[in-house]
Amino acid sequence: LISKRKPQLLPAGCSHVNAYKVDNWRPNLRVIYQCFVWSGSAETRRRKAKSCICHMCGAHLNRLHSCLYCVFFGCFTKKHIHEHAKNKRHNLAIDLLYGGIYCFVCQDYIYDKDMEQIAKEEQRKAWKLQGVGEKYSTWEPTKRELDLLRHNPKRRKMTTNCTIGLRGLINLGNTCFMNCIVQALTHTPLLRDFFLSDRHKCEMQSNSCLVCEMSQLFQEFYSGHRSPHIPFRLLHLVWTHARHLAGYEQQDAHEFLIAALDVLHRHCKGDTTNDNGKKANNPNHCNCIIDQIFTGGLQSDVTCQVCHGVSTTIDPFWDISLDLPGSSTPFWPLSPGGDGGTVNGESHLSGATTLTDCLRRFTRPEHLGSSAKIKCGGCHSYQESTKQLTMKKLPIVACFHLKRFEHSAKLRRKITTYVSFPLELDMTPFMASRWASTNYLPPGLYVLVRYALFAVVNHQGTLESGHYTSFIRQHKDQWFKCDDAIITKASIKDVLDSEGYLLFYHKQFLEYE
Amino acid sequence: MKMENMSLSGLDNTKLEALAQDIYSDLVEDACLGLCFEVHRAVKQGYFFLDDTDQESMKDFEIVDQPGVDIFGQVYNQWKNKECVCPNCNRSIAASRFAPHLEKCLGMGRNSSRIANRRIASSNNTNNKSESDQEDNDDVNDNDWSYGSEKKAKKRKSDKNPNSPRRSKSLKHKNGELSSSVNTDPYKYNYNTGINYETLGPDELRSLLTTQCGVISEHTKKMCTRSQRCPQHTDQQRRAVRVFLLGLSATSLPDSNTAVESDGYDASDGQVLMSRLQWDGSSDISPSDSASSKASTNNSDSKKPKKKKKTSLNSTGGGGGGSGSVGGSSSQGCLAGQANRKKPKLPVPPAPSIYDNLN
């Protein structure tokens, strides 16, 4: 007879702690953690170093433990703590290095939920004191989740060679522009994490929440289905909520991105952590996931040429639109040598224009000219001024829009100038003056402005007829080409050699606020 | 080993080395201990097994990197028959035609009001359905729809590429006039063309069925003369008609999953068929050809290995690149209004008497 019962799991905790968990045990335990385990400050560290030695042999290593019932330190390796436990019948001790609780009756380390709670809290406090801040902790399943997982042994893990997370999208009739944006969004790591951990709590009464549809989209992408998804509901919802997009006007991928982010942001009201509900629509105050990820702050400094007073405004942005050489607006300020950059036609630069060139141009001080005088608050009159744009707040995801489609009154064309863009981008030179490279940045801080490319949307063809495709990054260094329903593997070279229309960069290191 | 303050200055190199070595080995040991605790806790809390995966099913999800197939190992361009239900009108729409449909359905297109008025104005005769759908096609494929840039101005009709599909489509409405490769009304086509299988012997039937679709129309009782990949009928229907006409030993159809460039009828097949059957009248080229550019160039284009959507001849331009191969999308569009297209059932074998005749 084979028992059909599932193998019993030994309980993680034990009953012997019950004798300990009486009276003032919580604050007592906290003190032990604060003083002898997690040293938050240099002072506590010194105290720990000096006082935590084995009462029997004087060692400060050898897996030193502290008795939970009295002030006794004993090393584990030489079994001095065991002796103490036996002699005094104090059956619980704590490992001073990692804070684990050892039960001498069970003769094993035990994990009691309440005690672990205290341990975690004290550890967090110590990290804060040390200046480490929040540390990433991995997910742990709850008992219920464990149960579910145990009953479903056919698990799939996302390895680097896994197709899960990738899926084609059916073209609904010239909707490749939408498909590319969907691919970029579903491969935005933070957005993916938000939706896959089910963070959206919908407060919309009707069925027309775009955030819910987005959530559904992620489910589709991670379902393991191989046939392409038909994003008809998404199209319907976007057109319903962004009427200006619908129909024949503006089938531009960039336009669609902005409209989609806008609708998502509006529909995210339920998720804002901000208690000021009325501010949900104000990008400066909203704290929805869209704002957290995509919203940056663009600082505009207008300097009066007479009194040199500076007027500063900060505007939120979701993308940076960059002029290209070859457009009707001059790219480079006319300077001698090298940077030719003619007004029309091809660039005569010796090397290709880079994204950094475009950003440099974007953030250069610009004389506004005598025809655009501003009212200076200091001079109380209209004066000539210079204007400069810089990044005040960097978004976690920075989207660069290369302005390839030009349509002025006389001219309608696509600028196909090749712009070289990097896999990694350093935004330091484009930060607002307080951050400027003139200030010394301690080495650790430097990495905070490093960005990594993770999606590229390309347009092939002419202004009148063309096709959008995209490249997306998966698993750190794998790239895939998304051509509507067809997903194929791509090389980094394919990506970097492509023309580039929308470039998506993701901050490499995130800090907790 | 008591803790004591120690000055490093008085120590020589070997002592310093030994100290450094001590510190290093302590750190390594601590790190190992930490890992042990992690594993110990995972086992005790019961989540150590989480890393286990089902190896068999994992294999199904391995990325494929071969030419001609996508990362799932699927051949390109097999998704033409996808359908979806419009959230607005609840009709079942071909996925690749959903966007133009939705534009009208929501009343947002430039021509929506014009079409609506036209519909109201015209009478309710049966032929109207296909005609108005054709007009929808015409409007839908209007270049205004297909812009993919930030254009603000509408493109004038005069700016249209003279080779664009719109030109040839407008020819469709001229009464009776057909270019050699443009089919007028596919609906009418079914009535006038097709082969009567009753007049053919088993050998002729067999050879016929190797080159053409052959599905028997319920209306006309004639066989479809389109290619074996004709979009109007399913492989199941084709198989059924072969079983019906040739018996259970009927040859199987070619694998419908092979990459196909054009969904439509190939002109060369038409030539062969015409000479064989002394077919008179309009050719058997499917509506898909008419939808894409000029006749002769179009046919050769459709055979190009590259995807159609990248060429400027593509009827769907602008931001979209077309929906699947040109042939497929357009033909689906043209036929969307047809009753035949929506029939899910297989053609029912006729009464035993006809069957006996063949034998």
Determine which of A195-209, A342-356, A370-384, B52-66 has the lowest per-residue pLDDT on average: A342-356
Cβ contacts below 8 Å, chain A against chain B, sum to 259
What is the structure's pLDDT at A399?
96
- Contacting residues for B208 by C-beta, under 8 A, at least 6 apart: B195, B200, B214, B223
Does the residue B52 lie in any domain?
A: yes
CA distances for A333 relative to A300, A342, A366, angstroms: 19, 11, 9
Phi, psi angles (nearest 5°) of residue B214:
85, 0
Of the CA atoms within 13 Å of residue B243, those in its CB half-sphere come to 11
Answer yes or no: are the C-beta atoms of B293 and B313 closer than 8 Å: yes
Interface touch B58/A157, C-beta < 8 Å: yes
- Point out the residue among A155, A163, A230 whose CB comes nearest to the CB of B72: A163
What is the structure's pLDDT at B304?
34
How far is residue B204 CA from its own chain's centroid? 32
> Is residue B323 scored above 60 in pLDDT?
no
- Point out the residue among B58, B63, B109 whose CB comes nearest to the CB of A156: B58
d(CA B217, CA B194): 9
- Inform me whether the C-beta atom of residue A236 falls under 8 Å from chain B C-beta atoms: yes
Same domain assignment for residues B57 and B98: no
Mean pLDDT across A404-424: 85
Bridge partners for A95 per DSSP = A65
Does the residue B330 lie in any domain?
A: no
Mean pLDDT across B314-325: 36
Answer yes or no: are the C-beta atoms of B114 and B120 closer than 8 Å: no
Answer yes or no: are the C-beta atoms of B198 and B220 closer than 8 Å: no
Give B304 or B70, the one with higher predicted confidence: B70
> Is residue B349 scored above 50 in pLDDT?
no
d(CA B322, CA B324): 6
**CA distance to partner chain B, nearest, from residue A371 (Å):** 27
Which H helix or E strand runs over A110? strand A108-110
Answer yes or no: are the C-beta atoms of A400 and A500 closer than 8 Å: no
- Inform me whether the C-beta atom of residue B54 falls under 8 Å from chain A C-beta atoms: yes
Residue by residue, DSSP assigns A205-227 as: SSS--HHHHHHHHHHHHTS---S
Tell which of B57, B150, B163 to mutate to test the A interface (max A CBs under 10 Å).
B150
Phi, psi angles (nearest 5°) of residue B159:
-80, -10
Q: Which domains does chain A have, with CATH numbers?
A: 16-130 (3.30.40.10), 175-268 (no CATH)
Interface touch B320/A233, C-beta < 8 Å: no
End of a domain among B191, B222, B251?
Answer: B251
Determine which of A475-484, B132-141, B275-284 has the lowest per-residue pLDDT on average: B275-284
d(CA A489, CA A471): 9
Active site residue A467: yes
CA distances for A297 relative to A435, A507, A508, angstroms: 14, 15, 19
For chain A positions 70-99, those within 8 Å of chain B (CB to CB) are 97-98
Interface touch A248/B155, C-beta < 8 Å: no
> Is residue B16 scored above 70 in pLDDT?
yes
Does the residue B41 lie in any domain?
A: yes
Mean pLDDT across B212-216: 79
Does the residue B210 lie in any domain?
A: yes
d(CA A285, CA A467): 37
Determine which of A169-173, A229-233, B40-44, B283-287 has the lowest per-residue pLDDT on average: B283-287
- 3 state SS of A63: coil
What is the structure's pLDDT at B111?
62
- Inform me whether the C-beta atom of residue B106 falls under 8 Å from chain A C-beta atoms: yes
CA distances for A378 relative to A142, A374, A375, A382, angstroms: 62, 11, 9, 10
For chain A positions 136-155, those within 8 Å of chain B (CB to CB) are 140-141, 146, 149-150, 153-155
Same domain assignment for residues B89 and B57: no
End of a domain among B211, B232, B251?
Answer: B251
Which H helix or E strand runs over A312? strand A310-317
Does the residue B105 lie in any domain?
A: yes
CA distances for A298 relative to A293, A372, A391, A395, angstroms: 15, 21, 5, 10
What is the structure's pLDDT at A92?
94
Mean pLDDT across B220-249: 74
For chain A positions 249-268, those within 8 Å of chain B (CB to CB) are 249-255
Does the residue B49 lie in any domain?
A: yes
Answer yes or no: are the C-beta atoms of B108 and A246 closer than 8 Å: yes
Interface touch A174/B310, C-beta < 8 Å: no
Which one of A6-10, A50-54, A266-270, B123-127 scores highest in mean pLDDT? A50-54
Interface touch A480/B317, C-beta < 8 Å: no
Does the residue B325 lie in any domain?
A: no
pLDDT in tens, A73-131: 999 999 999 999 999 999 999 999 999 999 999 999 999 999 999 999 999 999 888 88
Mean pLDDT across A206-220: 93
d(CA A169, CA A180): 9
CA-CA-CA-CA dihedral for B107, B112, B116, B119, to nearest 10: -130
* Tokens (6 digits) for B201: 């012997």
Look over chain A and give the mean of its residue pLDDT values, rounded to a whole number: 84
**CA distance to partner chain A, nearest, from residue B332 (Å):** 12
| Chain A residues with beta carbon closer than 8 angstroms to that of B34 | 97-98
What is the structure's pLDDT at B113?
64
> Is residue B352 scored above 60 in pLDDT?
no
Number of folded domains that form chain B: 3
Helix axes A176-186, A232-241, angle to 10 degrees: 100
Burial of B163 (0-12, 13-18, 19+ CB in 10 A): middle
Mean pLDDT across B9-29: 89
pLDDT in tens, A294-320: 999 999 999 998 888 888 999 999 999
Does the residue B241 lie in any domain?
A: yes
Residue that has been written with the tokens 């009756």 in this structure: A105
Name the band, by pLDDT with cuts 50, 70 and 90, for residue B308. Answer: very low
How far is residue B52 CA from its own chain's centroid? 38
Enter the DSSP assignment of B310: G
* Tokens (6 digits) for A280: 């949900």
Q: Which of A60, A82, A90, A467 is catalytic?
A: A467
Look over chain B and give the mean of its residue pLDDT values, rounded to a whole number: 60
Name the band, by pLDDT with cuts 50, 70 and 90, for residue B276. Answer: very low
Name the band, by pLDDT with cuts 50, 70 and 90, for residue A177. Answer: very high
- 3 state SS of A412: strand
CA distances for B286 relative to A23, A388, B291, B330, angstroms: 87, 60, 9, 10
Sequence length of chain A is 513
> Is residue A293 scored above 70 in pLDDT?
yes
pLDDT in tens, A9-40: 556 778 888 889 988 899 999 999 999 999 88
What is the structure's pLDDT at B160?
40
d(CA A183, CA B304): 28
What range does the domain containing B30 cover?
13-62
Enter the DSSP assignment of A228: P
Q: Of A122, A120, A129, A135, which is closest to residue A41 (Cα–Cα)?
A: A129
Tell which of B35, B36, B63, B115 to mutate to test the A interface (max A CBs under 10 Å).
B63
Taking chain B, what is the end-to-end CA distance rounded to the nearest angstrom?
A: 106
d(CA B132, CA A142): 59
